[in-house]
């Protein structure tokens, strides 16, 4: 059956269509309320005149369809199939990590805040998102200074003989030791939630009432506590600027540049602008379809869904998306395109943010190209160092020996290609042998076929480390396959009698050259090399510490009957460190995959009562 005949016979019902090229590859997946009407619109001679659509249609040789009962089901199926097949002409939201949020489960006896990435629909309250872990932790630090809620699992706190240090500095009310009633503690929890929701003025009024009541009843210590809380809150509330009246909203803006679309989301929580997030995505079709595809993929992940979403333009099938989001959220959601007033100004602000991000990225790209060209010239490299790799070793007297490999592409970290190496064949402290093992594993034939070769490899050290690396590269038959240099750290001249501390320059050693190249200090090429070297060192140290912590957990639990490799791995995955394991409670142990109440009890007894 020809493509024309297949299109002519399509049903007028909801579903998903899959467009294929002459190789049978799926190049575009779409949804429709009426498959016949939607697919025909692509191929009408007088129909869709958009350039990108014409380019797509020219490559289509076959179309498959999947029928659904409703438009919402079509939307869900489309989302699933896009994530499965990654078609070229669909928006592919690869950056699916969620930002950090604060979680509070009000069903706990004495609730506490924890830092999480995902927002499952588990009945807990979530606040955020925050742009980074450090931003979320800073909010949490400020929050506990105002509202002294507990920091650790309740069982771990109760196992202590006395309240923790946070109680002594006034940042924990110590419910674990009965220093606050449950009613007063829940009042703090309620205040903290109002504070994070941006309802600061409502909170101020409530705390003023509590302070007045306590003073009238001559409970002066309690009144003083509410007064101190009130002062802390008022200082923070004065700094917040309300931009919208009402609840939580997300404002979406975009800027188009060629076949890429830059999206910005402004997060408004409790009427206050609390943060933003940027996405740079490949998209070759019309703008409205790109924004619709983005909203669909973004909000169906485990992220917070606000009550209102403001867009810069109208999108198709908005009603189906609203229906889906309302089902996920469990309450009303609206998607609108404001035309005037404060909401329209916020949409324009989001668009300005996205345009600014594009401009900054272009400037950074131009700056990186200049830096790499200068680096190539100064170090007499064979090729432009667009892809740079750096390797480092970390161990303590030969123990827990690890290596790291970091990759920078166009002068920026390419973290997807970072690699960690557990040293397997070298005993004792022999850095050259460890480097040989790392290079042998990185530059195996199958690895080269899969990941390619770098343009430049940097090793940490002086002429000795460079010659050792060069010898290894020659042994592997890769001479001339990439440029190789070493970067020696600056050295401090120690002279107690001198008035100033003298530091030598950082030096770059090249193969076949005895004297180093000294790049101008604080020049962008040298700063780039130093940043790559420091990142490799940080990555190696991080892995080294993780292995030491893992051995610490293993030594703490290996002797417990009933805990074998599977349960130990599950405990490692959940808790990560011996300290975190010791802070956990019996219920948390029992929830770990493969654990039961009996084994969890033995582990808790070992950690808390046997002096482990």
Q: What is the pLDDT of residue 378?
A: 92
Report helix, strand or coil for 396: strand
- In 3-state terms, what secondary structure has residue 525? helix
Structure tokens at 523: 């020049």
Long-range pairs for 416-419 at CB < 8 Å and ≥24 separation?
417/451, 418/539
pLDDT of residue 413: 92
| Residues whose CB is less than 8 angstroms from the CB of residue 150 and which lie 6 or more positions away in sequence, other chains included | 110, 112, 157, 172, 173, 174, 175, 176
pLDDT at 611 over 50: no
Residues 6+ apart with CB under 8 A from 144: 113, 151, 166, 171, 172
Mean pLDDT lowest among 89-103, 231-245, 326-340: 231-245
Distant-in-sequence, close-in-space partners of 447: CB < 8 Å, separation ≥ 6: 441
Could you tell me if 116 and 103 are in contact, meaning their C-beta atoms sit under 8 angstroms apart? Answer: yes
Task: Identify the band that residue 310 occupies on the pLDDT scale cut at 50, 70 and 90.
Answer: very high
Whether pLDDT at 532 is above 90: yes
Domains and CATH numbers, the chain: 3-85 (3.40.1440.10), 100-239 (no CATH), 249-358 (3.30.420), 387-543 (3.30.420.340), 558-609 (1.10.150.20)
With cut-offs at 50, 70 and 90, classify the pLDDT of residue 97: low
The pairing of strands 260-269 and 272-282 is antiparallel
Q: How many secondary structure helices (H) and strands (E) does the chain include?
A: 21, 20
pLDDT of 214 higher than 50: yes
Q: Is the pLDDT of residue 174 over 50?
A: yes
| Of 389 and 244, the one with more pLDDT | 389
**C-beta separation of 310 from 264 below 8 A:** no
Q: Which helix (H) or strand (E) holds 494?
A: none
Q: Is the peptide bond before 129 cis (omega within 30 degrees of 0)?
A: yes
Q: Which of residues 520 and 580 earns the better pLDDT score?
A: 520
Q: pLDDT higher for 227 or 582?
A: 227
> Cα–Cα distance between 469 and 471 in angstroms, integer?
5
In this structure, what token pair is assigned to residue 538?
Answer: 């940080």
The pLDDT value given to residue 147: 81
The listed range with the strongest mean pLDDT (23-32, 155-164, 593-602) is 23-32
Which stretch of 28-37, 192-201, 470-479, 522-531 has the lowest confidence by average pLDDT? 192-201
Q: What secondary structure letter does DSSP report for 147?
A: S
**Which DSSP category does 242 fall into?**
B
Which pair of tokens denotes residue 150?
């507990």
Q: Mean pLDDT across the stretch 183-206? A: 77
Instruction: Give the model's pLDDT for residue 176.
Output: 87
Residue 126 in contact with residue 119, Cβ under 8 Å? yes
Whether 260 has a pLDDT exceeding 80, the answer reads yes
Hey, which of 262-276, 286-300, 587-601 has the most confident mean pLDDT? 286-300
> Looking at residue 609, what is its pLDDT?
56
pLDDT band at 352 (very low <50, low <70, confident <90, very high): very high
Give me the residue label for tokens 């090429």.
Answer: 525
**Which pLDDT belongs to residue 564?**
74
Backbone angles phi, psi at 103, to 5 degrees: -110, 140
Q: Does residue 143 contact residue 196 with C-beta atoms inside 8 Å? A: yes
CA angle (538 as vertex; 533, 539 as ends), nearest 5: 100
Output the pLDDT for position 254.
Answer: 94
Range 169-174 average pLDDT: 85
Give per-residue pLDDT as tens, 240-253.
Answer: 555 666 678 899 99
Q: Among residues 107, 134, 10, which one has the least CA distance to residue 64?
A: 10
The pLDDT, as a whole number, for residue 49 is 47
For the segment 306-317, the average pLDDT, to the nearest whole number, is: 91
Asked whether 236 and 142 are in contact (CB, 8 A), the reply is yes
Residue 114: partners with Cβ closer than 8 Å, 6 or more residues away: 102, 103, 104
Q: What is the pTM of this model?
A: 0.64
Average pLDDT on 48-69 reads 77
- For 34-38, 189-193, 415-419, 501-505, which range has the lowest pLDDT when averaged over its residues? 501-505
**Predicted pLDDT of residue 2:** 79
Calculate the CA 276 to chain-centre distance. 14
For 514-528, write each residue's pLDDT tens digit.
Answer: 888 888 888 899 999
């Amino acid at each position: 059956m020809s493509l024309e005949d297949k299109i002519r016979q399509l049903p007028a019902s909801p579903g998903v269509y899959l467009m294929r090229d002459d190789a049978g590859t799926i190049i575009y997946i779409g949804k429709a309320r009426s498959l016949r009407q939607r697919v025909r619109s692509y191929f009408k001679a007088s129909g869709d005149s958009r350039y990108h659509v014409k380019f797509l249609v020219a490559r289509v040789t076959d179309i498959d369809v999947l029928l659904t009962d409703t438009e919402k089901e079509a939307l869900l199926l489309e989302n699933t199939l896009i994530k499965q097949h990654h078609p070229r002409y669909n928006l592919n939201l690869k950056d699916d990590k969620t930002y950090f949020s604060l979680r509070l489960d009000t069903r706990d006896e004495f609730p506490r805040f924890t830092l999480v990435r995902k927002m499952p629909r588990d009945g807990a309250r979530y606040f955020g998102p925050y742009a980074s872990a450090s931003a979320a932790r800073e909010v949490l630090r400020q929050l506990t200074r105002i509202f002294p809620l507990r920091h650790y699992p309740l069982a771990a706190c109760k196992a202590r003989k006395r309240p923790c240090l946070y109680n002594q500095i006034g940042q924990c009310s110590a419910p674990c030791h009965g220093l606050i009633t449950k009613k007063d503690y829940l009042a703090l929890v309620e205040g903290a939630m109002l504070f994070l929701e941006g309802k600061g003025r409502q909170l101020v009024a409530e705390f003023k009432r509590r302070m007045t009541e306590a003073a009238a009843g001559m409970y002066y210590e309690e009144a003083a506590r509410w007064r101190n809380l009130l002062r802390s809150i008022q200082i923070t509330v004065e700094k917040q600027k309300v931009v919208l009246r009402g609840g939580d909203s997300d404002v979406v803006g975009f800027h188009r540049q060629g076949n890429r679309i830059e999206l910005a989301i402004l997060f408004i929580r409790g009427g206050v602008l609390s943060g933003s997030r940027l996405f740079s995505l490949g998209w070759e079709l019309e703008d409205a379809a790109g924004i619709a595809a983005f909203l669909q993929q973004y909000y169906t992940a485990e992220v917070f869904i606000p009550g209102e979403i403001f867009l810069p333009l109208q999108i198709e099938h908005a009603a189906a998306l609203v229906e889906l989001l309302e089902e996920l959220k469990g309450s009303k959601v609206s998607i609108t395109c404001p035309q005037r007033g404060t909401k329209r100004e916020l949409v324009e602000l989001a668009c300005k943010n996205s345009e600014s991000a594009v401009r900054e990225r272009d400037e950074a790209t131009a700056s990186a190209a200049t830096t790499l060209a200068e680096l190539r010239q100064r170090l007499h490299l064979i090729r432009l160092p667009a892809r740079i790799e750096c390797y480092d070793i970390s161990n303590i007297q030969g123990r827990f020996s690890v290596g790291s490999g970091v990759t920078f592409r166009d002068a920026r970290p390419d973290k997807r290609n970072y690699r960690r190496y557990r040293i397997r064949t070298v005993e004792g402290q022999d850095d050259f042998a460890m480097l040989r093992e790392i290079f042998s594993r990185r530059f195996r034939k199958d690895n080269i076929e899969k990941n390619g070769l770098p343009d430049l490899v940097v090793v940490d050290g002086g002429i000795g480390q460079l010659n050792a690396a060069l010898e290894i590269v020659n042994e592997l038959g890769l001479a001339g396959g990439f440029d190789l240099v070493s970067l020696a750290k600056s050295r401090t001249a120690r002279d107690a009698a001198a008035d100033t501390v003298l530091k030598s320059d950082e030096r770059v050693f090249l193969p076949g050259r005895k004297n180093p190249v000294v790049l101008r200090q604080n020049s962008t090429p040298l700063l780039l090399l130093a940043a790559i070297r420091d990142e490799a060192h940080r990555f190696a140290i991080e892995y080294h510490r993780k292995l030491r912590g893992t051995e610490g957990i293993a030594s703490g639990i290996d002797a417990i009957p009933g805990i074998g490799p599977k349960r130990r791995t599950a405990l490692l995955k959940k808790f990560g460190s011996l300290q975190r394991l010791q802070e956990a409670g019996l219920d948390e142990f029992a929830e770990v995959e493969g654990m039961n109440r009996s084994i969890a009890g033995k582990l808790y007894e070992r950690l808390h009562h046997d002096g482990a």
